[in-house]
Amino acid sequence: MDAIVFYGFSALTLLAALVMVTQRSPTYSAFAFIVVLCSLSVVYGMLGSPFIAVLQIVVYAGAIMVLFLFVIMLLNVREEARSARDGWVLKGVAIALVAAFALQMASVLMRARTQFPRDFEATAARVAEVLFSLRFLYVFEATSILILAALVGAVVLAKKDL
């Protein structure tokens, strides 16, 4: 049962990612990306990370994608126009390059010596113990500064005249 869910949602993730990339309309791409994020969250859950799975839904599908859709609606984005540079030769070169890249990455990752220990469950409490430990203290505090900088930067960039 676990295996069926895991492989089913893995396949759905890959399929939705391909739909997202081949779609001309940004709105459809965004919706396909939401499918990718939600099914990826199921994959995280099956790999024993319920905390990250929930975070994926809340932060990615909930916050970031709403922001994306908001901007798409706001700017009234049209479909990509077809142009002379759209030929199949360029696309073929891109696909060949990316396929070679994927082959390299897969061959390196497959060489990793992996195990599958029993009873792995990274619950929120266990992740929090590591996250708020002294080891990640400075990283955690630096993140707050990063978010503040992003906040100020977004306001400055999007404002008409400052």
Partner 1 sequence: MTEAAVQHALLLSALLFAVGALGVFIRRNLITIFMCVELMLNAVNLAFIAFSRSLGMPDGLDGQVLVFFVMTVAAAEAAVGLAIVIALHRHKDTLDVDAFSLLKW
Residues belonging to the chain: 162
Using rule CB under 8 A, residue 141 touches partner 1: no
Using rule CB under 8 A, residue 162 touches partner 1: no
**Integer CA distances (angstroms), 48 to 2, 57, 100, 128, 131, in order:** 11, 16, 31, 15, 17
Using rule CB under 8 A, residue 48 touches partner 1: yes
Site residues (CB under 8 A) for partner 1, limited to 102-121: 102, 105-106, 109-110, 112, 114-117, 119-120
Using rule CB under 8 A, residue 146 touches partner 1: yes
Q: Where are the alpha helices (DSSP H) in the chain?
A: 2-22, 26-46, 50-55, 65-75, 88-110, 124-131, 137-158
Site residues (CB under 8 A) for partner 1, limited to 70-99: 71-72, 74-75, 77, 80-81, 83, 85, 90-91, 94-95, 97-99
- Least Å distance, CB 98 to partner 1, is 4
Tokens of 60: 């990615």
Q: What are phi and psi of 161, to 5 degrees?
A: -135, 125
Using rule CB under 8 A, residue 127 touches partner 1: yes
Is 9:46 a contact under the CB 8 Å cutoff?
A: yes
- Least Å distance, CB 79 to partner 1, is 9
What 3-state class would DSSP assign to 23? coil
What 3-state class would DSSP assign to 46? helix
- Least Å distance, CB 147 to partner 1, is 6
Site residues (CB under 8 A) for partner 1, limited to 7-26: 7, 10, 13-14, 17-18, 20-21, 23, 26
Q: For partner 1, how many residues bind (rule: CB under 8 A)?
A: 84
